[in-house]
Amino acid sequence: MGAQLRAVRRRIRSVQSTAKITRAQELIASSRIIKAQQRVHAAAPYARELSRAVEAVVNRSGQIDHPLTRPAERRTRAAVLILTSDRGFCGGYNANVLREAQSLGATLADGGMQVVPYVSGRKGIVWHRFRDRAMAGEWSGFSDTPVHANATEITRELLEAFDRPAEEGGVDEIHLVSTEFVSMLSQRPVVRRLLPLEVVQVDGPPPGPIAIYEFEPSPEDVLNALLPWYVESRVFHALLDSAAAEIAARRRAMKSATDNANELIEQLTREANKARQAEITQEISEIVGGANALAEAISGSK
């Protein structure tokens, strides 16, 4: 009985240590999530105005014909940029992104295209290496605190691949798989096509006023300069959004782990109390039995 009580107490101490770790991780994530949300909101105006500028150039250019908006006649290779995390303890965050990337890869393969993965985040890199899947590009070390230089580096490599013919190792399309921060309790994986850009003709009046721009030297030259910046801003915004989603997912996962640990501690404490009560009852029974035996022995000797 004493061995059982000692084993239960060891488990309680072990679970208490785990609860302290998960609680600390939860508090760290809670302190970082506000700053991550602020960075997403701060980057939104730049991305919005850049998108409006690109739309204005397209509207003024008539029939636009640009390499970044012109679909290839025969599409054979597609780059897929997958944004995962560098660290764990974030629940199903990485699993959901990788599952969405797998689904996109299957869809592209059904269309006769070869998928060329570009992976950001150690978890995604390890996932691909474990399955012996080659990666055309990999980046890590900044999943929860990305800076603009990280987006610039990723965009440069993607655009270089897009500028090369598919026969020379280039790609015909670029897709992005990331996680969108919806709320503290909800984060969802999303898939977007970055290149070629989808130019959609909308009938009817625009939803709001259209800014009037003058282009110098020409709309085509302005578009040549704007589109790489536009793609870079989309990648940077996806990195910021994924960082906020990662931290929120980690906070939720660590809170759930802490709650589960506390419930387990309560259950183990009840088991320890039962074992202790049974041990005390047994000791009392042994004392009473010994006293009775002693009394009988004394009365028999008389």
The superfamily CATH assigns to domain 64-202+209-246 is: ATP synthase, F1 complex, gamma subunit (3.40.1380.10)
Half-sphere exposure for 164 (CA within 13 Å, toward CB): 14
Residue 104 burial by Cβ neighbours in a 10 Å radius (0-12, 13-18, 19+): buried
Farthest-apart Cα atoms in the chain, separation: 126
For every residue of 186-209, DSSP letters joined together read -EEEEEEEEES-------SS-SSP
The yes-or-no answer on residue 90 being catalytic is yes
Give the pLDDT score at 280. Answer: 81
List the chain domain ranges.
Answer: 64-202+209-246
Distances (CA, A) of 145 to 22, 205, 244, 279: 21, 40, 9, 54
Q: Which pLDDT value is given to residue 54?
A: 78
33, 90, 226, 254: which is the annotated catalytic residue? Answer: 90
Sites in the chain below the pLDDT cut of 70? 1-2, 58-72, 198-213, 300-302
Per-residue pLDDT at 288: 79
Structure tokens of 298? 């004394």
